[in-house]
Structure 1
Amino acid sequence: MELRQLAIYVKCQGDLVGKNFSVLIVGGGTAGWMAANLLAHRWRDFPVNISLVESTEIGTIGVGEGSTPYLKSLFRALDIPESEWMPACDATYKCGIRFPGWSTTPGYAAYYHPFYSPLDRETGAEFFSQADMRRRGILVDAQPDHFFHAPYLSTAGMAPIPKRPLPFELDYAYHFDAGLLGRFLKSKAMQAGVRYRQATIDRVRLRERGQGDVVIDSLTTASGEAIAADFFIDCTGFRSSLLSELPEYQFSSYEKTLLNNAAVALQMPGDSQVPLKSETVSEALTHGWMWNIPLQSRTGFGYVYGDAFISPEAAEQELRKRTGAPDGISCRHLKMQVGRIEQHWSSNCLGVGLSQGFIEPLEATALMLVQFTIERFSLAFDPVNPHASGENQRSAFNHNINTMFDGVLDYVVAHYFLNTRNDTEYWRAARHDIAVPERLQRLVDCWDRGDDFVEYLKKAGADKIYSHASWYCLLAGMGRFPKGGAVGGGLESQQLLRDVQSFCGGNVARFESHRRYLERLAAN
């Protein structure tokens, strides 16, 4: 036995008297099985029993089909290569997100939010400089699409994989079939020793440990069976079936800040004869926006909207018209509860996924928040000595998760706050009638004044979730610049743009065809 394992064994005998610490995850789906895999991996050397129970009577949301680059670290930690999981989940690469229709400013009717990579270092620096000049009233090109490699690659149907190795890796994310990914992660978790059973939880039984400390004692199934555990993870979706039973439960709604609370989704067959774009498209419609997510065999579309402005029936009709979906293709209608809970880790229960909160799918942050929550929890909680994890650890953990949620909220809300559309009451309300987060308002004011925006981002702590490159792309991409009185940038600026376009465009041929590379992955 290795020394580390021996030390763990001795400590366990003293603290738990041979009893393994038990963790019960309630709810499957991508969030539940991601939690199961991460905890099984992180605690693989500890005496911990991890189980997951899910109901066949309660479905999962299952339409989140995009990610941020953070997801790469999950598969690397689990030692799962892309050649294994991507073909199994109909997955594709994602270089960034394109946003058409959010702005009416000439020259900025659409923009691209790329994943900033080392290959963009020089051209990105030119973009930041051009944007700062434009903020000072100098009429130069500050359209982010021109300065980063991602839009060139995705437009040409290329994967962010170079034909020959580079001294660095491009940042990228994925698209995937959420149902297939959940099933894939389920199989991996069970191989790692996670126990699985099907049951519908009917009741949460609480127990008071003294001095007002209330914990979850056990769960009762619909058949009357009691299931006990030392710690519980709530992956029951918007219901928050476990956390909502605890005294500390408090939900903070975002409804005054985000107008969208519903979505309608459909799927269309893919066309293997056209280039496979490596981008998500988030296109503004009349009362919200539509996602366009290309997978290997199909394309997913969804209209995210506010039901105070358009009915579900009218939203479905608009989505069908925009996508050309025939009547034979069915739609799925969803309701969203936007907001977050205050205590993600409360007593002996942790909320993960929709049970802890939801912002909206605009920047595909749902799985990032799941992964971040589980990773931070596995570091903050000691399953060998669980009583050592007291109020201070819980408080610091909850503050950390809430900081992440609030940072994502600022960035997502900025899209609506900065929109310049006037064609419907929805877009005017999204700009004028929302409760703008205080930090976001200060950031926009700093940008408008032409002050040092990078320094202000750091001071405000807004660069911890989204980098200055992302903020520049959003603000410049929306055309948030002074109107009138601008002077021209001259021939030098025009030559710079030609040089940048030649450099980025010329590098496209150095990368793999998206569709062909995925075919090779599947053949491995």
Structure 2
Amino acid sequence: MNRQNKKIIILGGGTAGWITANLMATHWQDKGFEITLVESPDIGIIGVGEGSTPPLKGFMETIGVSEAEWMPECNATYKVGITFKDWSLKPGFTEYVHPFVAQPDQFTIPAFFHNSFLRRKGIDLEGHPDQFFLATEMIRQKLSPVAPENFPFEIAYGYHFDSGLLGQFLRRVAEQKGVRYKEATVAGAMLDAQGNIDHLKTTDGEVLKADLYVDSSGFRGNLIQQTLKVPFISCAESLFNDSAIVFPTEQEENFAPHTISKAMKYGWAWKIPLTNRNGNGYVYSSSFVDADKAETEIRAHLGLLDSDVETRQLKFKVGRVAQHWAKNCLAVGLSQGFIEPLEATALDMVQETVVRFIEAYNNGDYTDKYRDEFNNRISARFDAVRDYIVCHYRISSRRDTDYWIANSTNEKISQSLRSILQSWMAGKNITDELLNQNLDIYFPNVSWNCLLTGKGIYPDQQQLRPGSDLANKYKIEDIREFNRRCALNFGSHCEHLRMLQSI
């Protein structure tokens, strides 16, 4: 693509499409690009991804949007971590928080690593992650993670939001940046002699032509999979879930800044707090339970067996495309792949894909010079996320249904994950294994430690023995007091949200 002719068409809106449009418009604002997003009025969006990881905060800052501008419009709340319930039946480890690590945690993480390492060696030390992180205290006290000016440490946090409203908001921001919006249904795409996408054709017979196409058409993958025939690599052998039931419930008066993930008989249920409601869902495997039985189970769990609240049934496929950038097409969002919503990684993957694409495109002088390097990088990220998610299921101690038995005995896992688990079970420092595999850049060492310790992957209590003074050098009481005093700097989560709404 030469520098004088830079037309981009993004096929599909939703959160992924509008994140892409905003990032491209922001990074290429003075490069002469003409960006158009084409969206069909006849095709809905999935619209249930209502949680994020901390990089979404950076995205908003990049496009110049403040929390006071977007959060009230999208019924958004804060998120400092994910609370996992009943994934383990091991006494003392039936619940834990996977925290977003804050700067104050750097003072307590050494104690966490020390205790968890020695407990695997059989020393009787406190090794539950909830004892060591500020996020757990903020969840317990239902505090906002926004630090006051006099608190000199950064607090990492993500958000919960109404994905439909967020897409609408990001559309307005993108249009202010010069992105064009076109409402049309694309009937097909035509290729040129070199196999590149030459143009799109709408149901009205209109021809839409660009130099670069972005496929944000969802699971359909209209361009990347259907037109360019890029293979889809399924990971259904290691991740069994393929269905979800979603529905809203009333919001409580005072709620904490976290997502709740509760293990169910055939999957897990989420609870996501928005300012106007709770988003609920049950992610399950249709190979082990039918939709009606799954809906009865989640309704019973929430005390809604006699309620007429309307539910929505969704199907999804887990895996990724073999190439995220093929010919003159970039796939983003569900068209490039999906590794189920357990750790809310979908939007992070969109951001990473678009930012790395812009970087590769710039460095290659708007050619495909670095396409292979880009594809390898994004695929490695997908695979690393997959393994972290698979680990949740593989190490669960639940055995109450055939679903959990199949998960916990599943040997169709990657060699990467197998090596991590073997290192952990052998009592080794898994930092070495993560660094050897270059995995720490995806889910860091502390996240892997929280996952494994939170589910109680330790010797049984009767196998533990007292430690020396050196082994007991960290006092849990001191760590609790440190986190309690750090938490004194933060106010109520809900009060902060009401303040944002009044600005």
TM-score by length of 2: 0.96
Structure 1 counterpart of 2:429, from 431, 435, 452: 452
- In the alignment, the residues of structure 1 paired with residue 268 and residue 442 of structure 2 have an alpha-carbon distance, to the nearest angstrom, of 23
Q: Which residue of 2 aligns with 1:87?
A: 72
How much does 1:168 deviate?
2.4
Structure 2 counterpart of 1:501, from 442, 457, 480: 480
- In the alignment, the residues of structure 1 paired with residue 481 and residue 417 of structure 2 have an alpha-carbon distance, to the nearest angstrom, of 35
Identity %: 41
Amino acid in structure 2 at the alignment position of 1:310: V
How much does 1:297 deviate?
1.1
Q: Partner of 2:440: helix, strand, or coil?
A: coil
Does residue 341 (structure 1) correspond to residue 321 (structure 2)? The answer is yes
Alignment of 1:212-223 (within 5 A): 213-223=194-204
How much does 1:190 deviate?
0.7
Query: Does the 8 A contact of 1:214 with 1:246 survive in 2?
Result: no
Q: Which residue of 2 aligns with 1:7?
A: none
How much does 1:488 deviate?
2.7
Structure 2 counterpart of 1:39, from 21, 24, 29: 24
Q: Which residue of 2 aligns with 1:283?
A: 262
- In the alignment, the residues of structure 2 paired with residue 441 and residue 384 of structure 1 have an alpha-carbon distance, to the nearest angstrom, of 37
Query: Does the 8 A contact of 1:246 with 1:346 survive in 2?
Result: no
Q: Which residue of 2 aligns with 1:65?
A: 50
Q: Partner of 2:144: helix, strand, or coil?
A: strand
- In the alignment, the residues of structure 1 paired with residue 431 and residue 225 of structure 2 have an alpha-carbon distance, to the nearest angstrom, of 40
Does residue 481 (structure 1) correspond to residue 474 (structure 2)? The answer is no
Q: Partner of 2:196: helix, strand, or coil?
A: strand
- In the alignment, the residues of structure 1 paired with residue 82 and residue 355 of structure 2 have an alpha-carbon distance, to the nearest angstrom, of 26
How much does 1:383 deviate?
10
Q: Which residue of 2 aligns with 1:351?
A: 331
Structure 2 counterpart of 1:397, from 374, 377, 380: 374
How much does 1:54 deviate?
0.5
Does residue 515 (structure 1) correspond to residue 494 (structure 2)? The answer is yes
Does residue 125 (structure 1) correspond to residue 110 (structure 2)? The answer is yes
Q: Which residue of 1 aligns with 2:297?
A: 318
Alignment of 1:127-166 (within 5 A): 127-166=112-151
Q: Which residue of 1 aligns with 2:162?
A: 177
Does residue 271 (structure 1) correspond to residue 248 (structure 2)? The answer is no
Alignment of 1:96-135 (within 5 A): 96-135=81-120
Query: Does the 8 A contact of 1:141 with 1:493 survive in 2?
Result: no
Alignment of 1:187-336 (within 5 A): 187-208=172-193, 213-247=194-228, 249-272=230-253, 275-325=254-304, 326-336=306-316
Q: Partner of 1:292: helix, strand, or coil?
A: strand
How much does 1:123 deviate?
1.6
How much does 1:328 deviate?
2.0
Query: Does the 8 A contact of 2:332 with 2:354 survive in 1?
Result: yes
Q: Which residue of 2 aligns with 1:442?
A: 419
Amino acid in structure 1 at the alignment position of 2:160: H
Query: Does the 8 A contact of 1:91 with 1:175 survive in 2?
Result: yes
Does residue 361 (structure 1) correspond to residue 344 (structure 2)? The answer is no
Q: Partner of 1:333: helix, strand, or coil?
A: strand
How much does 1:308 deviate?
0.6
How much does 1:113 deviate?
0.4
- In the alignment, the residues of structure 1 paired with residue 467 and residue 274 of structure 2 have an alpha-carbon distance, to the nearest angstrom, of 42
How much does 1:507 deviate?
2.7
- In the alignment, the residues of structure 1 paired with residue 455 and residue 252 of structure 2 have an alpha-carbon distance, to the nearest angstrom, of 31
Does residue 375 (structure 1) correspond to residue 355 (structure 2)? The answer is yes
How much does 1:77 deviate?
0.6
Flag the 1:490–1:157 CA change in 2: closer, same or farther, 3 A.
farther
- In the alignment, the residues of structure 1 paired with residue 363 and residue 212 of structure 2 have an alpha-carbon distance, to the nearest angstrom, of 9
Query: Does the 8 A contact of 1:338 with 1:358 survive in 2?
Result: yes
How much does 1:279 deviate?
0.5
How much does 1:291 deviate?
0.6
Query: Does the 8 A contact of 1:204 with 1:245 survive in 2?
Result: no
Q: Partner of 2:71: helix, strand, or coil?
A: helix
Q: Which residue of 1 aligns with 2:441?
A: 464
How much does 1:247 deviate?
4.6
Deviates more, 1:373-382 or 1:488-497: 488-497
- In the alignment, the residues of structure 2 paired with residue 252 and residue 51 of structure 1 have an alpha-carbon distance, to the nearest angstrom, of 30
Q: Give the RMSD, CA atoms, in angstroms.
A: 1.8
Flag the 1:412–1:25 CA change in 2: closer, same or farther, 3 A.
same
Query: Does the 8 A contact of 1:219 with 1:227 survive in 2?
Result: yes
What whole-Å deviation, never above 9, does each CA across 1:183-219 have from its counterpart, x for those lacking one? 00000011111111111111111111xxxx3011111
- In the alignment, the residues of structure 1 paired with residue 408 and residue 208 of structure 2 have an alpha-carbon distance, to the nearest angstrom, of 49
Q: Partner of 2:152: helix, strand, or coil?
A: coil
Query: Does the 8 A contact of 2:5 with 2:211 survive in 1?
Result: no
Alignment of 1:417-436 (within 5 A): 417-436=394-413
Q: Partner of 2:72: helix, strand, or coil?
A: helix
- In the alignment, the residues of structure 2 paired with residue 366 and residue 495 of structure 1 have an alpha-carbon distance, to the nearest angstrom, of 37
- In the alignment, the residues of structure 1 paired with residue 311 and residue 234 of structure 2 have an alpha-carbon distance, to the nearest angstrom, of 27
How much does 1:506 deviate?
3.2
Q: Partner of 1:403: helix, strand, or coil?
A: helix
Amino acid in structure 2 at the alignment position of 1:322: H
How much does 1:434 deviate?
5.0
Q: Partner of 1:104: helix, strand, or coil?
A: coil
How much does 1:245 deviate?
3.6
How much does 1:167 deviate?
2.0
Deviates more, 1:484-493 or 1:190-199: 484-493
Query: Does the 8 A contact of 2:11 with 2:39 survive in 1?
Result: yes
Count of aligned pairs: 500
4+ aligned runs moved over 3 Å, structure 1? 245-248, 382-386, 489-495
- In the alignment, the residues of structure 1 paired with residue 408 and residue 22 of structure 2 have an alpha-carbon distance, to the nearest angstrom, of 41
- In the alignment, the residues of structure 2 paired with residue 165 and residue 357 of structure 1 have an alpha-carbon distance, to the nearest angstrom, of 42
Q: Which residue of 2 aligns with 1:6?
A: none
Q: Partner of 2:262: helix, strand, or coil?
A: strand
Q: Partner of 1:159: helix, strand, or coil?
A: coil
What whole-Å deviation, never above 9, does each CA across 1:81-120 have from its counterpart, x for those lacking one? 1111111111111010010101111111111100111101
Query: Does the 8 A contact of 2:364 with 2:370 survive in 1?
Result: no
Query: Does the 8 A contact of 1:338 with 1:360 survive in 2?
Result: yes
How much does 1:494 deviate?
10
Query: Does the 8 A contact of 2:111 with 2:474 survive in 1?
Result: no
Query: Does the 8 A contact of 2:55 with 2:158 survive in 1?
Result: yes
Amino acid in structure 1 at the alignment position of 2:56: L
Does residue 168 (structure 1) correspond to residue 153 (structure 2)? The answer is yes
How much does 1:35 deviate?
0.5
Amino acid in structure 2 at the alignment position of 1:118: Q
Q: Partner of 1:308: helix, strand, or coil?
A: coil
Unaligned runs of 5+ in 2: none
- In the alignment, the residues of structure 2 paired with residue 115 and residue 291 of structure 1 have an alpha-carbon distance, to the nearest angstrom, of 18
Q: Which residue of 2 aligns with 1:29?
A: 14
